[in-house]
């Protein structure tokens, strides 16, 4: 909160908006939107949330609703005055809550929203941004010159008025009893001249029908009857829960409307899962898998977005119903068996919730498997959006790993979106492992020299470029009896796999030349190993290289090279594993070094060559030379000698 001044007249206080709110209001008011209808949807959603919060709080304090137990949202308008009013008898707000909720924004993602809104030049109407980032109240300033909020928190005697024109400040003062509701919130929007059509009853009905027809609180429209001169209430929605209805009675459009209302997203659900479980535990589920990534998909907290109800009473949206790797799923679970007065602490160890969690998780994975079998194109699109998150389950949920293995898709050296079943079916003769390569991107992995021997034998390799890949492959025992093996760790079993006949090269060397060459290579290996000393754990001939002279790999035991890099990046992690340098015995550079080494009296230049081999291998592995200055000096010496 920034500056605050006390007015002499009455008790009105003037507050400046927190900086990001001011910027937000400026952008929203001055941006051009083709769809301003969503402001009413956002206010209705906030009103419904307020009712649900009070319904939950009343479970432990029934006095809060004893005088008015029926929740409702009331809309009214005055065409002549150009006002539109949204009222609810929900939980309401205290003075401090008005300041916190309407004068500041503390939610994560706000800055991202502002940046997207400022750069919103792709032709969309901007409503998706508002829905994604949960700042719907401020959308009222798109249509109103002034907004007045009068709120009384349930159980409080005092009501407060919040008024702003959206130009940098707002006024806060006690509200007179005749201006305030017994409890809840009243929002009065003084519409701009060009937006007064929103005060028309026809427009209000249309917006409610299009955006808020499935809000779980009844919505009424108050209208003046011309004959009687009395206000009459028109029921726009009945507040019935969509998930309690039969699937045959619900249209796809209704599912879509409920998904958008409950999730705050504007795409269409890629998959809708609606069922009722009966037996020892009874509950209803209405879950949606989005088409596009929610903005908070990679939020560090990795919280789920399933709302828990108990017999149609909202309990919490923070229950651990689905594992973190399914956090993109939106929807509700309504239990018949959990006690209504359960606390957050009790929920954490509740056996009924554990059973529900298990059942819902298995059902979602089962539905995903059906989609993969029946509609590969749709599943591929969903996998591209959420595959990196689903793969977290391979590491975190070993109980369901086999089930997840049926879903996961991989980019490989053979193609995109390959299944493990397809990989195993296409394995080469004598191949006993599923080979994988880790890296920062598909392109970086494909440039890795460690792949050369596998590609020369047409052996398929999984290209794993997601951060979680480095973790799950460390714990996965295998698939279909085949173990997972890194192409950059330990020795290989490639000698048992024949190269395609067309690639077999004719060897015209005599046995004597071969023996001499092998002796020279053995001498080179010994020399390089002695020269590099503790910089490497070993130096050896490679059968995984085809065109590159050298590469580095990890030892047989311990982390893969990519996993080691991740550990090195963690604060406080000490990793001291030395790599293995592998040398291509058929490469011209290696053979030239071996030839120079024979009978050489002065081996100082050859020592530079040994270090350059290691530095070259590090660079090919995406790392920097151990000592860049010495690397540059050695390289200069070699280049100068070559240019003489």
Give the pLDDT score at 516.
Answer: 59
Give the pLDDT score at 73.
Answer: 96
Long-range CB pairs of 425-433 (<8 Å, 24+ gap) are 426/460, 427/460, 427/482, 428/457, 428/458, 428/459, 428/497, 429/497, 429/498, 430/493, 430/496, 430/497, 430/498, 431/459, 431/497, 432/482, 432/483, 432/493, 433/482, 433/483, 433/484, 433/485, 433/493
Q: Which fold has domain 4-237?
A: Heat Shock Protein 90 (3.30.565)
DSSP 122: S
Query: Does residue 105 have a known ligand-binding role?
Result: no
Give the pLDDT score at 639.
Answer: 86
Query: Does residue 165 have a known ligand-binding role?
Result: no
Query: Does residue 126 have a known ligand-binding role?
Result: no
DSSP 403: H
Average pLDDT over residues 442-470: 92
- For the chain, give the mean pLDDT: 84
Query: Does residue 101 have a known ligand-binding role?
Result: yes
pLDDT at 435 over 70: yes
Secondary structure (H, E, C), 182-238: CCEEEEEEEECHHHHHHHCHHHHHHHHHHHCCCCCCCEEEEEECCCCCCEEEEEEEC
Residues of the chain with CATH 1.20.120.790: 511-643
Give the pLDDT score at 5.
Answer: 44
Give the pLDDT score at 440.
Answer: 87
CATH code of the domain occupying 385-496: 3.40.50.11260
pLDDT at 10 over 70: no
CA 395, distance to chain mean position in Å, is 17
What architecture is the 511-643 domain classified under in CATH? Up-down Bundle (1.20)
Residues of the chain with CATH 3.30.230.80: 242-380
pLDDT at 3 over 50: no
Query: Does residue 185 have a known ligand-binding role?
Result: yes
Question: Could you tell me if residue 184 is left (phi over 0), alpha (psi between -120 and 50 degrees) or otherwise beta?
Answer: left
Give the pLDDT score at 72.
Answer: 95
Query: Does residue 312 have a known ligand-binding role?
Result: no
Least confident range from 314-328, 555-569, 594-608: namely 555-569
Q: What is the DSSP string of 505-538?
A: PP----HHHHHHHHHHHHHHHHHHHHHHGGG-SE
Closest CA to 103 of 193, 4, 206: 4
Give the pLDDT score at 29.
Answer: 61
Per-residue pLDDT tens digits for 110-144: 455 455 555 654 545 544 444 444 467 888 988 99
pLDDT at 108 over 50: no
Query: Does residue 1 have a known ligand-binding role?
Result: no
pLDDT at 403 over 80: yes
Query: Does residue 136 have a known ligand-binding role?
Result: yes
Give the pLDDT score at 348.
Answer: 73
Euclidean distance between CA atoms 265 and 332, whole angstroms: 15
Q: Which fold has domain 242-380?
A: Ribosomal Protein S5; domain 2 (3.30.230)
pLDDT at 316 over 90: no
Q: What is the DSSP string of 466-506?
A: STTHHHHHHH---BTTBEEEETTBS---GGGSPPPGGGPPP
Query: Does residue 132 have a known ligand-binding role?
Result: yes
Residues of the chain with CATH 3.30.565.10: 4-237
- Residue 557's pLDDT band (boundaries 50, 70, 90)? confident
Average pLDDT over residues 481-486: 92
Query: Does residue 410 have a known ligand-binding role?
Result: no
Residues of the chain with CATH 3.40.50.11260: 385-496
Per-residue pLDDT tens digits for 361-378: 999 999 999 999 999 999
Euclidean distance between CA atoms 383 and 368, whole angstroms: 10
Query: Does residue 133 have a known ligand-binding role?
Result: yes
pLDDT at 572 over 60: no
Query: Does residue 505 have a known ligand-binding role?
Result: no
Helix, strand, coil distribution of the chain in percent, nearest 5: 45, 20, 35
Least confident range from 39-48, 309-318, 440-449: namely 309-318
Is the pTM of the predicted complex or chain greater than 0.95?
A: no
pLDDT at 33 over 80: no
């Amino acid at each position: 909160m920034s500056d605050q001044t006390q007015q002499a007249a009455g008790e009105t206080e003037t507050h400046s908006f927190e900086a990001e709110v001011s910027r937000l209001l400026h952008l929203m008011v001055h941006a051009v939107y083709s769809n301003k209808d969503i402001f009413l949807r956002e206010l209705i959603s906030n009103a419904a949330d307020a009712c649900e919060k009070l319904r939950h709080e009343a479970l432990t304090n029934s006095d809060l609703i004893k005088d008015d137990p029926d929740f409702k949202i009331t809309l009214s308008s005055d065409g002549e005055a150009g006002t539109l009013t949204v009222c609810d008898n929900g939980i309401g707000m205290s003075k401090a809550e008005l300041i916190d909720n309407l004068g500041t924004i503390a939610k994560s993602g706000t800055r991202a929203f502002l940046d997207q809104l400022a750069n919103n030049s792709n032709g969309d109407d901007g409503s998706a941004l508002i829905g994604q980032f949960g700042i719907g109240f401020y959308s009222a300033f798109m249509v109103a010159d002034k907004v007045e909020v009068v709120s009384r928190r349930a159980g409080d005697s005092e009501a407060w008025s919040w008024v702003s024109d959206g130009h940098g400040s707002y006024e806060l003062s006690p509200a007179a009893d005749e201006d305030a509701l017994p409890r809840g919130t009243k929002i009065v929007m003084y519409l701009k001249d060009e937006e007064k059509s929103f005060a028309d009853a026809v427009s209000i009905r249309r917006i409610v029908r299009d955006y808020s027809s499935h809000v779980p609180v009844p919505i009424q429209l108050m209208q003046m009857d011309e004959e009687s001169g009395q206000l009459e209430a028109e029921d726009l929605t009945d507040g019935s829960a969509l998930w309690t209805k039969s699937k045959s009675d619900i249209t796809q459009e209704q599912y879509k409307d409920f998904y958008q209302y409950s999730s705050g997203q504007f795409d269409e659900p890629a998959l809708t899962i609606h069922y009722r479980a009966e037996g020892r535990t009874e509950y209803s589920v209405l879950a949606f898998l989005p088409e596009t990534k929610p903005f908070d998909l990679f939020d560090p907290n990795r919280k789920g977005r399933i709302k828990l109800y108990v017999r149609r009473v909202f309990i919490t949206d923070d229950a651990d119903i689905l594992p973190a790797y399914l956090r993109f799923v939106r929807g509700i679970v309504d239990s018949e068996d959990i006690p209504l007065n359960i606390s957050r602490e009790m929920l954490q160890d509740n056996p009924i919730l554990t059973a529900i969690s298990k059942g819902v998780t298995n059902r979602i994975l089962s539905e995903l498997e059906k989609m993969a079998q029946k509609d590969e194109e749709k599943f591929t699109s969903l996998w591209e959006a959420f595959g990196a998150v689903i793969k977290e389950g391979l590491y975190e949920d070993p109980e369901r790993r086999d089930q997840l293995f049926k879903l996961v898709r991989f980019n490989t050296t053979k193609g995109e979106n390959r299944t493990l079943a397809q990989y195993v079916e296409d394995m080469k003769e004598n191949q006993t492992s599923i080979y994988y390569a880790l890296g920062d991107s598909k392109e970086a992995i494909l440039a890795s020299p460690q792949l050369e021997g596998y590609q020369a034998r047409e052996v398929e390799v999984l290209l794993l470029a997601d951060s979680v890949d480095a973790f799950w492959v460390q714990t996965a025992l295998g698939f279909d009896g085949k173990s997972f093996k890194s192409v950059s760790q330990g020795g290989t079993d490639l000698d048992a796999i024949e190269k395609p006949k067309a690639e077999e090269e004719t060897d015209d060397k005599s046995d004597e030349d071969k023996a001499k060459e092998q002796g020279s290579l053995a001498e080179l290996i010994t020399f390089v190993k002695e020269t590099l000393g503790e910089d490497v754990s070993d130096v050896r001939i490679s059968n995984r290289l085809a065109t590159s002279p050298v590469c580095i790999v990890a030892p047989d035991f311990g982390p893969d090279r990519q996993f080691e890099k991740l550990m090195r990046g963690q604060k406080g992690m000490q990793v001291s594993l030395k790599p293995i340098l592998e040398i291509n015995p058929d490469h011209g550079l290696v053979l030239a070094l071996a030839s120079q080494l024979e009978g050489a009296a002065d081996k100082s230049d050859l020592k530079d060559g040994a270090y350059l081999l290691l530095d070259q291998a590090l660079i090919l592995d995406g790392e920097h030379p151990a000592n860049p200055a010495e690397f540059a000096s050695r390289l200069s010496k070699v280049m100068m000698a070559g240019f003489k």
